[in-house]
Structure 1
């Protein structure tokens, strides 16, 4: 797959997340997906995202930076949201916070097979 196609697939994936279109998540995510080195499969990945949206009702993925090659995507995602309770072990409890996530994806064909995510927890701590 070329860089443009993979960028478009990734943008479709982010749109799917923002719409919480869980029935179509499998169009973008491989059945055998791994998250931060752990195999969680498509159902585990979906459960993680559903939980995230439950705990952060105004969650919205905004692409700040996107770089793609033939099988990988690197993205910096921005968030400005209001977690209901504890988030990443921090007592956010309904306070609006802004932070970034640096995330890398390995694709197999046109589906995400590996995800490595690092969230800027220090940015959240500084706001509390």
Structure 2
């Protein structure tokens, strides 16, 4: 897959998340997906994302930086949201917070097979 096609594929995945189009998640995420070293599979990945949206109803994935080097993608996602309760163990309780996620993906057969995610928790802590 070329860089441009991989970038388009990734943007489609982000649109799927932002639209909470869970029925189409399997078009972008491999059945055997691993998240931060743990095999959670497509159903576990979907459950994780659904939980995120329940905890953060206004969650929106905003791509700030996108680098594609097939079969890998590196992205910096920006969030400006209002979690209902705790977020990453921090008592947010309805306050608006801004933070970033640096995330790396590896694709197999056009689908995300591996995800490595690092959340900027310090940015959230500094806003509390």
If the TM-score is normalised by the length of the shorter chain, which range does it land in? over 0.9
Q: Distance in 1 between matches of 2:113 and 2:30?
A: 5
Q: CA deviation at 1:28?
A: 0.2
Q: Which residue number in structure 2 is paired with residue 76 of structure 1? A: 76
Pairs within 5 Å for 1:116-127:
116-127=116-127
Report the 3-state secondary structure (helix = DSSP H, G, I; strand = E; otherwise coil) of the residue aligned with 1:24. Answer: helix
Matches within 5 A, 1:99-114: 99-114=99-114
What are structure 2's unaligned runs of at least 5 residues? none
What is the number of equivalent residue pairs in this alignment?
A: 128
Alignment of 1:41-120 (within 5 A): 41-120=41-120
Cα distance in 1, alignment partners of residues 119 and 109 from structure 2: 26
1:92-112 per-position Cα deviation (integer Å, ceiling 9, x unaligned): 000000000000000002100
Q: Name stretches of at least 5 consecutive residues in structure 1 with no aligned partner.
A: none
- Structure 1, residues 35-89: CA drift from partner, whole Å, max 9, x if none? 0000000000000000000000000000000000120000000000000001000
Instruction: Tell me the TM-score normalised to structure 2 length.
Output: 0.99
Give runs of ≥4 in structure 1 deviating > 4 Å.
none
Length-normalised TM-score, structure 1: 0.99
What is the alpha-carbon root mean square deviation over aligned residues? Answer: 0.3
Summarize deviations over 1:2-28 as a string: whole Å, max 9, x none: 100000000000000000000000000
SS at match of 1:14: helix
